[in-house]
């Protein structure tokens, strides 16, 4: 089965932050394997290091120690500009506050990651239409973010995340700013992306309800990955 | 990159008031810069267009203007016999021995006195200046106390209109004609019979000799010949070059004034642009983080913010130039430092000035935007994304 093929492999990753002279450990000797097509939730109290781990997997930050391989590429050895190029085609981001560019329309927001690709204008348009259709927001593509509800904005953000057909989708509290109904819609959509399109999803959440949608829940506490992971589908 | 342009442009549109104020500051500087350079250009063009390429001016060797020059009748007669002078249809030499004197007249608007050039002419003087066209009245008759005035003199000075009499050199001179020499220095002169004017001013020497060169004329060899002739202490130059030199000092002064003033003003405009762009960077920290997360590199971010600042400069430049172009409708009259005579001219906008002004405006945008753009490009992604 596809799901047994490792897509993210984390080995003994350590991350610390400096605050003045003080060194604050955030992640300690983390090792984790995420298989292709997996839907993983990282949960834990605030400050446990969930977002830091997500940022390291997504290539937004650099680990102090250890190896992170995504799709067979060791991203810890990539330079900053190499990481930028890598992110374009390998990582789709879903943020808590959607992070849409307010001066661009829904269509243009979705098109944004594609302008860094080699696609022609026509191909870009086709990709954007497909992505907007997948999240069922094509009728709002000319609207600016301020003209959309929170749920609609998050769907546009999801379309932006999948438009490049990335290796992994990372979501940091994707339902944190939404009401129950909108949150349910977004979670349904993420389910569909995982189930129907085989997308590998890594989500950081505080919300147990959102966590339950994942196949696997990993718990982090004080920078250490707990052994009592849950397989929510078993 | 069309999308990045929209991103920068629409961000400016979103902050309409800030954009308007910042670009207005730049527009003001561009306006001042363009206006002063247009003034210098107008002065220079007016004087350059006064002369013609095929006319040669002969002056006393050390003189830089006709007012300072003295050419005796004997010397004039030697020049008259030079073989490089063209002939008219009647076979007469196209050469005029002219007198240039300054008188003072009272201005209509300010009631102040200003120097005006009186040019003593011969019949051939008009033949050699095709730009001079009679617009009212008739030409002064030789041997009479009749004069004709340039249209700027008729317009700007008291009692200088057609039919009026002007009193100078102890005599009363009747204005029998008004001529239009276009945007040239002649339009600010009074012309009368050379012999009558020499008598009236008690002069027995001319100020300059002008002649139309023929196809055998070679300036270096002509200059060598008259310079080596011990009877002549004269110098010759092409008429265009002569008038160009007349404008150099004042045009240079205006340009230095313009550049100095705008250099000082531009510091304010650059600081304004810098504050605007720093505020833009501070307000869009999360956006910067998002763009970086999506894969945009530092250079892309630097370019986007720099582009925004350059658009500000472009808008300022266009606005400043639009207002400056309206100055072309205004004609100003001032004393030329070199000739000490009143000269009327218009602000002139040229492609060169537009290019310089736009370049200057974009430079202000660039200097104002580069530091904030560098700051934006150096932001750490994770820290930026926290700023929601």
**Whether the predicted pLDDT of A1 surpasses 50:** no
Q: Per-residue pLDDT for chain B (388 aa), expressed as one digit of tens each?
A: 677 788 888 888 888 899 999 999 999 999 999 999 998 888 888 888 888 889 999 999 889 889 899 999 999 999 999 999 999 888 889 999 999 999 999 998 889 899 999 999 998 999 999 999 999 999 999 999 999 999 999 999 999 999 999 999 999 999 999 999 988 889 999 999 999 999 999 999 999 999 999 988 899 999 999 888 989 989 999 999 988 888 888 888 888 998 899 999 999 999 999 999 999 999 999 999 999 999 999 999 999 999 999 999 999 999 999 999 999 998 887 777 777 777 778 899 999 999 999 999 999 999 999 999 999 999 999 999 987 6
* Contact (CB, 8 A) for B171 and B98: no
β strands within chain A, DSSP E: 6-19, 22-35, 39-43, 65-70, 73-74, 91-94, 168-172, 200-204, 216-221, 224-225, 230-231
Is residue B226 a contact partner of residue B234, using CB atoms and an 8 Å limit?
yes
Question: What interface predicted TM-score (ipTM) does this complex get?
Answer: 0.92
Average pLDDT, chain A: 91
> Using one digit for the tens of pLDDT, what is the confidence trace for A171-228?
999 998 889 899 999 999 999 999 999 999 999 998 888 899 999 999 998 889 886 5
Cβ pair A99, B286 in contact under 8 A? yes
Predicted confidence at residue A231, as pLDDT, reads 65
Query: What is the rounded average pLDDT of the residues A109-136?
Result: 92
In whole angstroms, what is the distance from residue B246 CA to residue B345 CA? Answer: 14
Q: A84 and B295 in contact by Cβ < 8 A?
A: yes
Cβ count within 10 A of residue A96: 20
Q: What is the pLDDT of residue B44?
A: 83
The sign of the dihedral angle between the CA atoms of B78, B83, B85, B89 is: positive
The per-residue b/e assignment along B210-237, b for 16 or more CB within 10 angstroms, e otherwise, is bbbbeeebeeeebeeebeeeeebbbbbb
Quote the minimal CA–CA distance from A38 to chain B in Å: 22
**CA-closest candidate to residue B287, choices A104, A176, A147:** A104
The yes-or-no verdict on residue A2 having pLDDT over 60 is: no
Q: Which residue of A has its CA nearest to B381?
A: A60
Q: pLDDT band for position A18 (50/70/90)? A: confident
Domains of chain A are 2-225 (3.40.50.300)
Kindly report the pTM of this predicted structure: 0.78
A111 min Cα distance to partner chain B (Å): 9
Contacts of B388 in chain A (CB under 8 A): 96-97, 99
* Chain A neighbors of B7, CB-CB under 8 A: 101, 103-104
Residue A3 has pLDDT above 70, yes or no: no
pLDDT of residue B116: 93
CB B23 within 8 A of CB B312: yes
Structure tokens at B303: 């370019």
**One-character DSSP codes across B218-286:** -HHHHHHHHHH-TT--EEEEEHHHHHHHHHHHHHHHHHHHHHHHHHHHHHHHHHHHHHHHHHHHHHTHH
Q: What is the mean pLDDT of residues A147-151?
A: 94
pLDDT at B245: 85
Residue A59 burial (CB count, 10 A): 25
Give the pLDDT confidence score for residue A227 in this predicted structure: 64
Answer yes or no: do A97 and B297 touch at CB < 8 A. Answer: no
Tokens 């110098």 found at: B235
Distance of CA A158 to the CA centre of its chain: 9
* Cβ contact, residue pair A87, B293, below 8 Å: yes
Chain-chain contact of A103 with B10 (C-beta, under 8 angstroms): yes
């Amino acid at each position: 089965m596809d799901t047994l093929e490792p897509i993210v492999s984390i080995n003994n990753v350590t991350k610390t932050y400096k605050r003045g002279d003080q060194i604050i450990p955030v992640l300690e000797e983390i090792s984790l394997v995420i298989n292709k097509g997996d839907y993983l939730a990282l949960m834990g109290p605030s400050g446990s290091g969930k977002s830091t781990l997500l940022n390291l997997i997504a290539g937004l930050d650099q680990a102090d120690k250890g190896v992170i391989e995504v799709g067979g590429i060791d991203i810890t050895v990539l330079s900053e500009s190499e990481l930028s190029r890598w992110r374009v085609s390998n990582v789709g981001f879903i943020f808590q506050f959607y992070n849409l560019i307010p001066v661009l329309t829904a269509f243009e927001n979705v098109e944004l990651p594609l302008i860094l690709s080699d696609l022609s204008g026509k191909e870009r348009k086709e990709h954007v239409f497909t992505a907007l259709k997948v999240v069922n927001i094509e009728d709002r593509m000319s609207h600016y973010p301020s003209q959309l509800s929170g749920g609609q904005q998050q769907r546009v953000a999801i379309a932006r995340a999948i438009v490049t057909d990335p290796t992994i989708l990372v979501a940091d509290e994707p339902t944190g700013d939404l009401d129950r109904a909108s949150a349910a819609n977004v979670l349904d959509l993420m389910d569909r992306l995982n189930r129907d399109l085989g997308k590998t999803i890594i989500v950081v959440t505080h919300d147990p309800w959102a966590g339950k949608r994942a196949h696997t829940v990993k718990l982090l506490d004080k920078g250490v990955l707990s052994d009592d992971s849950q397989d929510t589908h078993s | 990159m069309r999308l990045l342009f929209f991103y920068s442009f629409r961000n400016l549109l979103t902050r309409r008031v800030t954009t308007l104020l910042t670009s207005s500051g730049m527009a003001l500087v561009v306006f001042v810069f363009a206006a002063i350079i247009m003034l210098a250009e107008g002065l220079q063009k007016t004087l350059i267009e006064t002369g013609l390429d095929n006319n040669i001016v002969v002056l006393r060797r050390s003189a830089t203007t006709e007012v300072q020059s003295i050419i005796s009748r004997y010397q004039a007669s030697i020049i008259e016999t030079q073989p490089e002078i063209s002939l008219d249809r009647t076979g007469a030499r196209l050469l005029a021995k002219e007198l240039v004197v300054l008188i003072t007249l009272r201005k209509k608007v300010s009631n102040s006195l200003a120097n005006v050039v009186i040019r003593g002419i011969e019949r051939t003087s008009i033949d050699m200046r095709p730009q001079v066209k009679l617009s009212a009245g008739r030409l002064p008759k030789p041997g009479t106390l009749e004069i004709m005035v340039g249209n700027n003199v008729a317009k700007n000075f008291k009692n200088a209109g057609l039919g009026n009499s002007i009193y100078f050199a102890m005599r009363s001179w009747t204005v029998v004609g008004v001529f239009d020499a276009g945007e040239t220095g002649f339009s600010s002169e009074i012309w009368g019979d050379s012999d009558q004017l020499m008598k009236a001013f008690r002069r027995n020497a001319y100020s300059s000799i002008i002649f139309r060169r023929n196809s055998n004329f070679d300036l270096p060899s002509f200059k060598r010949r008259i310079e080596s002739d011990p009877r002549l202490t004269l110098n010759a130059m092409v008429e265009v070059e002569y008038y160009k030199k007349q404008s150099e000092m004042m045009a240079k002064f205006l340009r230095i004034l313009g550049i100095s003033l705008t250099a000082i003003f531009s510091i304010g405009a650059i600081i304004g642009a810098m504050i605007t762009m720093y505020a833009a960077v501070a307000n869009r920290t999360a956006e910067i983080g998002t763009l970086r997360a999506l894969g945009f590199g530092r250079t892309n971010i630097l370019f986007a913010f720099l582009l925004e600042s350059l658009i500000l400069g472009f808008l300022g430049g266009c606005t400043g130039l639009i207002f400056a172009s309206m100055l072309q409708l205004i004609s100003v009259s001032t004393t030329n430092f070199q000739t000490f005579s009143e000269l009327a001219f218009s602000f002139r906008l040229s492609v060169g000035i537009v290019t310089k002004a736009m370049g200057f405006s974009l430079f202000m945008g660039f200097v104002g935007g580069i530091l904030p753009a560098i700051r934006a490009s150096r932001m750490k992604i994770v820290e930026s994304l926290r700023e929601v």
